[in-house]
């Protein structure tokens, strides 16, 4: 029976392992966490719109219907592509017939001094919970009836989907607190981007819509400027100005996960692994790389963007190629099915560009489309239902997130499941 090791329990790794298991391949899935996370919704965890449990699901639960998949929670200390083995503190796994690297990404700070130490990236559940605790503490100070709080500015570095969605959510959060008369000091959001447009992968119409909606919500947007330094109590911008703040949210780019470094494989753009058209690693038979850890090529050889849909489809395609190889057949080039892109800007405000021809939607219709797609993509029925109920509550009671942000914990439905259905966060 054929065997495979999948490194990484994100969207790419889970899709790959599930597809392999469906075809009788024995899979060992290794991740440092015991859960898989839905990264596009981490900003909602940080801003109290969703509890962390709704965007994270235990890997063991995700694969309870797949006995061919064994999940291992461990830090990876080494990867040997030649023997297709993986080393952890608990021992060595492999050799396997095939090795799939799907370890995702890490923040790319581009060498900005202090960014790694003092900023808040949003690439993991731990990141989101850390930011939420920080915002809660800062907003408690700002909502202290005794007053006297200094003005509070949140700097968001990067105008991509993560930056735009986080800026919109925070602006609405601050606005709700202001409407309730709870803010004793001023709170503002300042988004900076070194380019000249928000949501660069989108069309000009979406660029303009996003800018208009963020500006309407009170977000200050500055183009042609980047964060050049982050200190514990300030941010330095590339135009020479300094902004007093202890909250710099880093949405300025990603690179391949640390596992790339311990694999010894050469890296390309973004510190990611370059792969052939069939997602295999050149010169390393039986080794594949998918998702954010790889530069996944389109049919013209250009690297696709780091999107959840690319990760999921590439993980599943690599698995199909592995199954083909086990049958003595040829692996086939990856073909990405572009279903479109979308971004949430706030309540009743979103943009969606559907299909390869980028049919443009905006406003309430795009807002509903965004909710539906992300609910479908969430792993687990409980997470889907819980998310929908939380979103509905937010929609009809827009002050809900503001109230929760000042509490010690986010409310969550008490599901009648056993402990195995709860991730260790």
pLDDT at 307: 85
Please report where in the chains the tokens 């443009």 appear, as a residue: 360
User: What is the pTM for the complete model shown?
Assistant: 0.86
Which tens digits make up the pLDDT trace of 11-50? Answer: 999 999 999 999 999 999 999 999 988 888 888 888 887 7
N- to C-terminal Cα separation, the chain = 35
**Confidence (pLDDT) at 422:** 58
Domain positions in the chain are: 3-32+74-107+254-326, 115-252+340-405
Fold observed for domain 3-32+74-107+254-326: FAD/NAD(P)-binding domain (3.50.50)
Query: Taking 90 as the threshold, does the pLDDT of residue 232 lie above it?
Result: yes
Whole-angstrom Cα distance, residue 367 to residue 150? 35
Tokens at residue 392, please? 């509905």
Pick the CATH number of 115-252+340-405 from 3.40.50.300, 3.40.50.2300, 3.50.50.100, 3.40.50.720: 3.50.50.100
Cβ burial, residue 414 (10 Å; 0-12/13-18/19+): exposed
**Which positions ≥6 away from 347 have C-beta within 8 Å?**
172, 367, 394, 395, 398
For residue 323, give every residue at least 6 positions away whose Cβ sits within 8 Å of its Cβ, in sequence order, or none: 19, 20, 23, 25
**Number of Cβ atoms within 10 Å of the Cβ of 363:** 15
List, for residues 267-289, the tens digit of each pLDDT value: 999 999 999 999 999 999 999 99
CB contact at 8 A, 363 and 348: yes
User: What pLDDT was estimated at residue 1?
Assistant: 83
Indicate if 115-252+340-405 has the same CATH topology as 3-32+74-107+254-326.
yes
CA distance 107 to 118: 13
């Amino acid at each position: 029976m054929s065997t495979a090791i999948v490194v990484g329990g994100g969207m790419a790794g889970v899709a790959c392992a599930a597809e392999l298991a469906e075809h009788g391949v024995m899979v060992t899935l290794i991740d440092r966490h015991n859960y898989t996370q839905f990264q596009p919704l981490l900003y909602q965890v940080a801003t109290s719109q969703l509890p962390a449990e709704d965007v994270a699901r235990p890997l063991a639960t995700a694969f309870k219907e797949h006995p061919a998949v064994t999940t291992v929670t461990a830090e990876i200390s080494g990867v040997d592509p030649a023997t297709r083995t993986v080393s952890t503190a608990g021992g060595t796994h492999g050799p396997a017939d095939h090795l799939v690297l799907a370890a995702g990404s890490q923040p790319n700070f581009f060498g900005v001094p202090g960014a790694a130490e003092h900023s808040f990236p949003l690439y993991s559940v731990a990141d989101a919970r850390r930011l939420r605790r920080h915002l809660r503490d800062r907003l408690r100070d700002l909502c202290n009836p005794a007053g006297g709080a200094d003005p509070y500015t949140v700097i968001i570095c990067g105008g991509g989907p993560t930056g735009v969605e986080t800026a919109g959510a925070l602006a609405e959060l601050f606005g709700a607190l202001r409407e309730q008369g709870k803010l004793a000091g001023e709170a503002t959001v300042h988004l900076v981007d070194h380019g000249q447009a928000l949501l660069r992968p989108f069309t000009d119409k979406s660029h303009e819509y996003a800018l208009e909606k963020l500006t309407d919500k009170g977000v200050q947007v500055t183009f042609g400027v980047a964060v050049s330094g982050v200190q514990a109590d300030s941010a330095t911008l590339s135009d020479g100005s300094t902004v007093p703040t202890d909250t710099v949210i880093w949405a300025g780019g990603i690179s391949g996960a640390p596992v790339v470094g311990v694999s010894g494989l050469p890296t390309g753009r973004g510190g990611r692994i370059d792969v052939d058209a069939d997602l295999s690693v050149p010169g390393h038979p039986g080794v594949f790389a998918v998702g954010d850890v790889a530069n996944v090529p389109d049919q013209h050889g250009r690297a696709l963007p780091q999107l959840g849909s690319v990760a999921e489809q590439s993980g599943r395609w690599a698995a199909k190629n592995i199954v083909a190889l086990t049958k003595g057949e040829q692996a086939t080039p990856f073909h990405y099915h572009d279903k479109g892109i979308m971004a949430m800007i706030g309540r009743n405000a979103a943009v969606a560009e559907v299909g390869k021809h980028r049919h443009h939607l905006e406003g309430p219709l795009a807002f509903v489309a965004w909710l539906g797609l992300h609910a479908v993509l969430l792993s687990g029925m409980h997470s889907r239902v819980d998310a929908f109920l939380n979103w509905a509550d937010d929609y009809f009671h827009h002050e809900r997130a503001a109230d929760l942000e000042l509490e010690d914990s986010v409310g969550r439905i008490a599901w009648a499941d056993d402990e195995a259905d709860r991730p260790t966060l």
